[in-house]
Structure 1
Amino acid sequence: MIQLVDYKDIKYGHSLYKDNNNDTKVLKYEKGKGVVKNPKEALKWNRLAADQGNETAQFNLGYMYSRGIGIKQNYSEAVKWYRLAAGQGNVLAMFNLGVFYSEGRGARQSYSKAASWFRLAAKKGDAEAQFRLGMMYEKGDGVEKDVEKAAKLYRFAADQGHAMAQGNLGWMYINGNGVEEDLDEAAKWYRRSEQSRKAKKDMSPLSSLR
């Protein structure tokens, strides 16, 4: 089994470990290193597992291509492997594909495709995907503008402690945008946003790893 590599752009070091169950290698994170101890070996073992259809290894390989870990950075290859992982239900791969399509990395920029991938990740409960999809509905980027859907998505993410979603939801309650105007609710969500930001600032980097 291949353990999860980095999530999005969070930087950690990792080491290779032996998996005694199936004689493969695994990647395991260590806090604060910021470097890959043996990127060539990491690439080798992830590729072997990915070629055998291992979902997490496919995500790992996509991430390594996206960051240039052990191999020359190649966004197109990253998209290829993220797609394979996403096809097996990997929520992180779904989210990253949404980011890549929204930014035009490794594929032609397409807000509609970005929204589709964010939607899949959002349905699986990913708070950041819910927040980003909410912004797309609020602005009408790649989807038909729908502030009520935006508010619902912000609420889903806000209930998970997403600070920016909490702030956006507070703003919507102030303005009656997508929800009925309610200054008490607005104040509540602004307070929660401030608390979430403070908590996130106080947390160690490792706590952000999913």
Structure 2
Amino acid sequence: MRTHIGYLLIALLLSTHAQAEPDLPEEFHAAQPKMQLYMAYAEFKMAHYDVARKMWLHITGKGSGEAAFNLGILYEQGLGVDQDIPKARDYYLLAAEKGSRAGAYQVGLMHMNHPELVSAETATHWLTIAALDGDEDAADMLKSINLGDDAEDDPILKVRQLIAIGEVDQARELLIEMSEASPPDYVAMTRLAWLYETGLGVEQDIHRAGELFKIAAEGGNAEAQYALSVMYETGVGQLKDTDLAQYWLQQSAKQHYQLAVEKVGENGVSLP
């Protein structure tokens, strides 16, 4: 498979920026890549997009794939930077190349919404790798590409597609409907919480995001449990509580949520 020249150039940019970011805190420079990812994620959650971007640009080694994925998010959504879909595509490709399952999935989503930027062949390649690594969403996306299915039978996939093409109101309405169903869909509730936290297409409401993350976390959603742990850790969206931060981090890690597992390992704590 021929390497895309765009993300080769971005790889060089990442290397250049990694040399030094003098306005980043010293503790960030001294931290290991996994902790740097966590610190950048916390800055992103507080809407400090420029700081998060600089941190992600600095991260090298094993954390560089997830850093590239998050940089793609910034450019796709225009958070702290001018929206640049081709640049977002290049970051997602770089992330996939560096082993990020999230990056591989996003390459597939890019194909579905911007086929002029990502070919079916490229999307199929990366989605297959992610699916073989256990990513069920990637497997569903791969099926949609190969069989020409639409997203009607997969509401969460439909939501992701709607958000990607800018139909956020419709996506939000679908998420609310799924969240308020009986029983509630905690995956949908977690996606809705992200919308309120980032202010993507809605008025930013950290308090509401915190409420939704808490309900979804208590309902057993691992992603929400991790997000809630960060809120308790940072004091944004929840009152700061180190014990609760560790509790929800552990609950998420027990379900093998990757970011939580990495954070637990970084802390040197073994799962019971």
TM range (shorter): 0.5 to 0.7
Give the structure 1 partner of residue 252 of structure 2.
Answer: 157
The yes-or-no answer on 1:127 pairing with 2:238 is no
Show the 5 A alignment for 1:32-111: 37=148, 39=150, 46=152, 59=156, 61-68=158-165, 73-88=166-181, 89-111=184-206
Measured after TM superposition, the shift of residue 171 of structure 1 is: 5.0
* SS state at 1:141 partner: coil
Contact 2:253 2:260 in 1 (8 A): yes
Measured after TM superposition, the shift of residue 61 of structure 1 is: 4.7
The yes-or-no answer on 1:142 pairing with 2:237 is yes
Contact 1:82 1:94 in 2 (8 A): yes
Unmatched runs of 5 consecutive residues or more in structure 1? 1-7, 15-27, 47-55, 173-185, 190-210
1:140–1:36 Cα change, 3 Å: farther
Alignment size in residue pairs = 139
Give the structure 2 partner of residue 20 of structure 1.
Answer: none
Contact 1:77 1:106 in 2 (8 A): no
| C-alpha separation in 2, matches of 1:57 and 1:157 | 24
* SS state at 1:165 partner: helix
Give the structure 2 partner of residue 167 of structure 1.
Answer: 262
1:36–1:144 Cα change, 3 Å: farther
Contact 1:137 1:143 in 2 (8 A): yes
Provide the alpha-carbon RMSD of the alignment.
Answer: 3.3
Higher-Rg structure is: 1
Give the structure 1 partner of residue 23 of structure 2.
Answer: none
* SS state at 1:114 partner: helix
Larger proportion of strand: 1
Measured after TM superposition, the shift of residue 187 of structure 1 is: 5.4
TM-score by length of 1: 0.55
| C-alpha separation in 1, matches of 2:142 and 2:241 | 41
Unmatched runs of 5 consecutive residues or more in structure 2? 1-101, 113-138
Q: Residues 130-185 of structure 1, C-alpha deviation per residue, up to 9 Å, x if partnerless? A: 0011001100011111111100000101111223223333555xxxxxxxxxxxxx
Give the structure 2 partner of residue 113 of structure 1.
Answer: 208
Contact 2:229 2:244 in 1 (8 A): yes
Measured after TM superposition, the shift of residue 63 of structure 1 is: 3.6
| C-alpha separation in 1, matches of 2:146 and 2:154 | 19
Q: Which amino acid aligns with 2:247?
A: K
Give the structure 2 partner of residue 31 of structure 1.
Answer: 142
Identity of aligned residues (%): 22
TM-score by length of 2: 0.43
* SS state at 2:256 partner: coil
Measured after TM superposition, the shift of residue 57 of structure 1 is: 6.5
Structure scoring higher RCO (CA < 8 A, sep ≥ 6) equals 1
